[in-house]
Amino acid sequence: MVMNNELGSLKVNIILKTLALWFIALMGWKAEGDIHLLPKKFVAILAPHTSNWDLFFIMGVIFALGLKFNWFGKKEAFRWPLGGLLKRLGGIPIERSTHKNMVQQTVELIRSRDQVIVGITPEGTRSNTKYWKTGFYYIAHQAAVPIIFAFLDYGRKVGGLGPRMETTGDIEEDLKVIRGYYKGITAKYPECVGEVVIRLH
């Protein structure tokens, strides 16, 4: 079990936590998860992702649990007037048109820190998508950190942190576990949810 003092730099301040609790309560949502069981470093799957509201709800839920995390978003989302705020809330803008290896860059980021949470939306976009992108899996596996299943269930109006999974290197088998978990989670727009499968080229 990870004790409180070991999670120090991963905690949000009391003001942000209070605001997050107020926000999700106002929206009729609840947060689930125990931060005391978390490792110091991990990749959080943020799913499903079918609406602009997902970002606000997942941040509200995670902050309400008392954690802070980093997440990636397209550069255009960080323009004025919200850009500065999104960065303060853990956002990292990325340029999708570049040829940089985001997986390797993120692996190096995780390895360079004693404590870090990286949140990734495998569907990549709120639009209808056929497949999940598998970068989150290779980041976790190469950085030798576990994956935590973060979720937003619009059916129950509950969000939070689910099970922990250690990658085995057998992505097909590991994705079966992930698919089984998220199969019971209701997205805001279920028709836009991507399949948790490997994209064949």
- Which residues are CB-contacts of 33 (< 8 A; sequence separation ≥ 6)? 65, 160, 161, 162
Residue 21 lies in a domain: yes
Q: Is residue 64 pLDDT above 70, yes or no? A: yes
Q: Is the dihedral of CA 121, 151, 112, 90 positive or negative?
A: positive
Residue 170 lies in a domain: no
Q: What is the mean pLDDT of the chain?
A: 84
Domain count, the chain: 1
Note the pLDDT of residue 2. 27
First CA to last CA across the chain, in angstroms?
A: 42
Q: Is residue 10 pLDDT above 60, yes or no? A: yes
Residue 169 lies in a domain: no
Residue 197 lies in a domain: no
Residue 199 lies in a domain: no
As given in the structure block, the two tokens for residue 26 are 């106002």
In tens, the pLDDT along 131-167 reads 788 999 999 999 999 999 999 999 999 999 999 999 9
Residue 94 lies in a domain: yes
Residue 146 lies in a domain: yes
Residue 118 lies in a domain: yes
Q: Is residue 98 pLDDT above 70, yes or no? A: no
Note the pLDDT of residue 144. 97
* Domain around 103: 10-30+41-49+60-163+175-192
